[in-house]
Amino acid sequence: MSPIPLPESRRTNQVRGPLFSSERRLLGKRQQFVRDRSTAVPFAWIVSASEAGLRLDKYLASEARLGSRAKAIGAIERGKVFLNGEEASMSEASRRLSAGDTVRAWMDRPGTSKPRPRVRALGDLQILYEDDDLLVVNKPAGLLAVPLERRVEAPSVYDRLEDHFRDRGHGRRARPFVVHRIDRDTSGLVVFAKHAAAQAALKEQFRRREPERVYWAVVYGHPDPPQGTWRDHLT
What CATH code is carried by the domain that includes residue 43? Answer: 3.10.290.10
Residues constituting the chain? 235
Task: Give the chain's domain count.
Answer: 2
Helix (H, G, I), strand (E, B) or coil at 202: helix
Q: What is the rounded CA–CA span in Å between residue 69 and residue 35?
A: 19
Q: Is residue 93 part of a domain?
A: yes
Dihedral, 83, 19, 75, 139 alpha carbons, nearest 10: -70
Reading phi first (left if > 0) and then psi (alpha if -120 to 50, else beta), residue 49 is in alpha
Q: What are phi and psi of 130, to 5 degrees?
A: -155, 135
Q: Is the domain of 77 the same as that of 127?
A: no
117 DSSP assignment: P
Query: Which is more confident, 156 or 163?
Result: 156
| Average model confidence (pLDDT) across the chain | 77
C-alpha angle 142-191-152 in degrees, rounded to nearest 5: 45
Does residue 7 carry a pLDDT above 60?
no
Reading phi first (left if > 0) and then psi (alpha if -120 to 50, else beta), residue 144 is in beta
Q: Is the domain of 168 the same as that of 191?
A: yes
**Choice among 101, 108, 183, 232 that is catalytic:** 183
Does residue 153 carry a pLDDT above 50?
yes
Q: Is the domain of 100 the same as that of 135?
A: no
Q: Is the domain of 148 the same as that of 91?
A: no
Please tell me the pTM assigned to this model. Answer: 0.48
Q: Is residue 45 part of a domain?
A: yes
Q: What percent of the chain has pLDDT over 90?
A: 31
Q: Is the domain of 146 the same as that of 202?
A: yes
Give mean pLDDT, residues 44-72: 91
CB 109 within 8 A of CB 38: no
Q: What are phi and psi of 52, to 5 degrees?
A: -60, 140
57 labelled catalytic: no
Q: What is the rounded CA–CA span in Å between residue 43 and residue 6?
A: 14
**What per-residue confidence (pLDDT) applies to 118?**
55
Give mean pLDDT, residues 22-47: 46
Q: Computed over its alpha carbons, how large is the radius of gyration of the chain?
A: 24
Q: Is residue 115 part of a domain?
A: no
Q: Is the domain of 19 the same as that of 46?
A: yes
The whole domain housing 99 covers 8-105
Here the CATH number for the domain that contains residue 197 is 3.30.2350.10
Q: Is residue 165 part of a domain?
A: yes
Q: Is residue 35 part of a domain?
A: yes
Query: Which is more confident, 70 or 203?
Result: 203
Dihedral, 81, 87, 89, 92 alpha carbons, nearest 10: -80
For residue 207, what pLDDT band results from cuts at 50, 70 and 90? very high
Residue 21: count of CB within 10 angstroms of its CB: 13
Query: Which is more confident, 18 or 145?
Result: 145
Q: Is residue 195 part of a domain?
A: yes
The identity of residue 204, as a single letter, is E
Distance of CA 161 to the CA centre of its chain: 22
Give mean pLDDT, residues 37-63: 80
Least confidently predicted of 19-28, 181-190, 218-227: 19-28
**What per-residue confidence (pLDDT) applies to 139?**
92
Q: Is the domain of 68 the same as that of 19?
A: yes
Write the pLDDT tens digit of every residue in 107-131.
888 877 776 655 555 666 788 888 8
Does residue 180 carry a pLDDT above 50?
yes
Give mean pLDDT, residues 28-48: 52
